[in-house]
Amino acid sequence: MSHYVLRRLLLMIPTLLGIMLLNFIIVQAAPGGPIDQMLARFEGVDSMSSTRLDTGGGEVVVQDESRGARGIDPRFIEQLEAQFGFDQPAHERFLGMLADYATFDFGVSFFRDRPVIELMIERLPVSVSLGLWTTLLVYLISIPLGIRKALHHGSRFDVWTSGLVIVGYAIPGFLFAILLIVLFAGGSYWDLFPLRGLTSPNFDELSAWGKVKDYVWHITLPVIAMTIGSFATLTMLTKNSFLDEIHKQYVLTARAKGASDQCVLYGHVFRNAMLIIIAGLPGALVSIFFTGSLLIEVIFSLEGLGLLGFEAVMQRDYPVIFGTLYLYTLIGLLLKLVSDLTYVWVDPRIDFETRES
């Protein structure tokens, strides 16, 4: 198994390089780069005003004859290109970026003037909080519910819960978040939960128990909104997986030998049925932790990684874009490897190393 893990780790390198190269080409080809973004800011300066900028090579004064900058000095544009590194060929910038990323040096944000790694570490607790609690609730709800639906297939319980699952699948998480705000966050009805943030302004002054209550109070609505948008698929996947296993020949044979329903379910069916659920765990984790929380972070004003990446794309903040992309890709590849190892842990009969050879 150690040889399989080593091969998988080595294969991550070309995979990561390919993904970064493809996105580098796409981002570089997109119109409205950092230089255009910076110049657009100058064109919004009030009339008859002057702006001083320190570009690293001395201050440049831009005089405005009317609303919007007019006649920007070409030397200023050249200094901006040198500051952002666009005075180098694209391949040199890409290779330099990879060399820095190998040591997790993501550079400095173009528009925030802070190291990207600091921005990511600052936003990481929010995304981790949302992701962990959402994942925990989704699996605690979906797996038992899916198993019960499979055992009582066709019953009233199955029909009614299927209706709830369909509603949860049909309503996007962000739309449900808006509904929760309208109902419970002072929108039109009850003002029971806060509208934004994960903590109150006086969080540091609270006692330990007060901090716990304040944190739970703030995170309740975002987590509920994310859970509603995620549990439906896993519930039906669990039900169909168990339903398929229950009707297989080995289950009938075990029952014919006198094995109890609990022994058949948890001793035979559970191990086989959970394989397909484990296979989807890496994608579910990445989706919940990062992409799935994007709109929820925007709606509830939560400063997480999803919102950071979205703002970077809108501003063409290349260091933040590629830094977050690198992190997402690396985590996804590692979680895929963890998924394969969990396969073997759940069912020791699976041997990936023998299959590959």
Nearest residue to 318 via CA among 126, 96, 121, 102: 96
Nearest residue to 105 via CA among 93, 113, 115, 90: 115
Q: What is the mean pLDDT of the chain?
A: 77
d(CA 223, CA 200): 17
d(CA 52, CA 198): 38
- Structure-token match 């294969």, residue found: 11
pLDDT digits (tens, 9 = 90+) for 237-293: 888 888 888 878 887 787 777 777 777 777 778 777 777 777 667 667 766 766 667
Residue 264 lies in a domain: yes
pLDDT digits (tens, 9 = 90+) for 152-181: 888 888 889 888 888 888 887 778 888 888
Q: Give residue 65's pLDDT band: very low, low, confident or very high (50, 70, 90).
A: very low
Residue 330 lies in a domain: yes
Nearest residue to 322 via CA among 19, 9, 11: 19
Contact predicate 290/128, CB 8 Å: no
Q: Give residue 42's pLDDT band: very low, low, confident or very high (50, 70, 90).
A: low
- H or E element that contains 137: helix 116-151
Q: Give residue 70's pLDDT band: very low, low, confident or very high (50, 70, 90).
A: very low
d(CA 194, CA 13): 44
d(CA 298, CA 102): 31
Residue 129 lies in a domain: yes
Quote the pLDDT of residue 348: 67
Task: Tell me which DSSP letter residue 254 carries.
Answer: H
Comparing 229 with 231, the larger pLDDT belongs to 231
d(CA 111, CA 38): 9
Nearest residue to 66 via CA among 86, 51, 49: 49
- Which tokens in the block code for residue 179? 């509904």
Residue 225 lies in a domain: yes
d(CA 223, CA 174): 11
- Which tokens in the block code for residue 190? 């009850």
Identify the CATH number of the domain in which residue 192 sits: 1.10.3720.10
Quote the pLDDT of residue 230: 76
- Which tokens in the block code for residue 340? 């394969």
* Domain extent for 189: 117-356
Residue 71 lies in a domain: no
φ, ψ for residue 320 (rounded to 5)?
-70, -40
The model carries a pTM of 0.70
Residue 54 lies in a domain: no
- Which tokens in the block code for residue 305? 């990684």
Q: Give residue 214's pLDDT band: very low, low, confident or very high (50, 70, 90).
A: confident
Residue 182 lies in a domain: yes
**Residue 59 pLDDT greater than 50, yes or no:** no
Report how many domains make up the chain. Answer: 1
Residue 266 lies in a domain: yes
Residues with Cβ < 8 Å from 85, sequence gap 6 or more?
A: 93, 96
Mean pLDDT of 318-335: 85
